[in-house]
Amino acid sequence: MSRASRALRLTGLLASTVLLTATAAACGSASDSGSSADTKGSADTKGSADTEGSAPESGAFPVTLSHKFGSTTVKSEPKRIVTVGLTDQDAVLALGKVPVGTTEWLGGYKGAIGPWAKDKLGDAKAPTVLKDSGTGPQVERIAALKPDLVLAVYGGLTKAQYESLSKFAPVVAQPKEFNDYGVPWQRQTEEIGKALGKPAEAKKLVAGVEDTFAAAKKEHPEFVGATGVVATPYEGTFVFGSQDPRSRLLADLGFTLPKGLDKVIGDEFGANISKERLDLLDQDAALWIAPDTTSSVKKLHADKIYGDLNVAKQGREVFVKETSDYGNAVSLSTVLSIPYVLDRLVPQLAAAVDGKPSTKVENPAS
């Protein structure tokens, strides 16, 4: 994976670009009080907090989960969970557990828990926040938290990293069927549900969010069959492929991704495209995750090739500020963040594809 791709994922917006290669840009805000938590103190605390009704299902353990590096057996209910997967904490919280440790991706959130998930934390202590500075998980700090389960479902562990973590706790790594950082939110939730002894509850959560997608498609039949693409102006133009969570948002709303997209992207979640392939952006709707919603728009439209595309001339664009709560939620695309996103994204997409160039795509109030 390229250095550009790695920087993209770690900075959070460009929020999905990958933790496997060389450099790491900013891993997050130093003001996150969860990040500065004393590791030893955290290791001395009790296990993950439970919310009401969070007991595992009868006969749920032991359970064996397959993944990229083989399989892992979880013998009994985990009490001290550390999430190495960058968005795995949301599924854990949705299932009634609070991790003792999370891994920072976006920055700025105490415990690495966004506003769409804060109510699931309740009165529990915020998790200790770990960082990946480009060399992989902080194995020693994770070990100090004394986990009995490490989740790396939405992740990109290497075999060596997996083996290091497995020395002191069962590790559920990314599913082998998908690119690193490419697991769908549905599969992520269900895998974590199995690991926590709550497979039926996980399926119920997934069904609830899928019902929300179905309701949006019913209300907006114009989405079904319309073409859409997700991009970010990172080092030129970076387009997300079909296995990226952002692209899946559009697909789950009924949009069709550009033909030949994955052939251009390759086996990654996304890639920079050349000026000659900007035609990939000329769709019924283009969702841009951008540094801001003013100067970024002007800069894109100033590009003669892009500015001459119908998607730009006819106002079919949706711009989301990458570092806003909304932008962060789009990048996470989890069982908890998606309803928050759809409340904001659906009206914007409806304005973009209504066939009227005069319709302005309004930014949400928050």
**pLDDT tens figures, 238-256:** 999 998 999 999 999 999 9
Using the CB atoms, write b or e for 114-138: b if 16+ within 10 Å.
bebbeebbeebbbbbbbbbebebbb
Q: What is the pTM of this model?
A: 0.85
User: Tens of pLDDT along 47-99?
Assistant: 566 554 478 999 999 999 999 999 999 999 999 999 999 999 999 999 999 99
The answer to whether 93 and 113 are in contact (CB under 8 A) is: yes
Query: What is the arithmetic mean of pLDDT over 268-273?
Result: 88
Give the tokens for residue 15. Answer: 């929020």
Query: Can you give the pLDDT at residue 50?
Result: 59
Q: Is the dihedral of CA 223, 334, 294, 25 positive or negative?
A: negative
Query: What is the arithmetic mean of pLDDT over 142-167?
Result: 97
Confidence of residue 29 (pLDDT cuts 50, 70, 90): very low
The answer to whether 81 and 97 are in contact (CB under 8 A) is: yes
Query: Can you give the pLDDT at residue 49?
Result: 62
Query: Can you give the pLDDT at residue 231?
Result: 97
Confidence of residue 179 (pLDDT cuts 50, 70, 90): confident
Give the C-alpha separation, 282 to 311, whole Å: 5
Note the Cα 44 to chain centre separation in Å. 30
In sequence order, what E strands does 186-313 have? Answer: 228-232, 237-240, 270-273, 285-290
The answer to whether 15 and 324 are in contact (CB under 8 A) is: no
Query: Can you give the pLDDT at residue 352?
Result: 97
Q: What is the DSSP string of 81-124?
A: EEE-STTHHHHHHHTTB--SEEE-SS-SSGGG--TTTHHHHTTS
Q: What is the DSSP letter of 275?
A: G
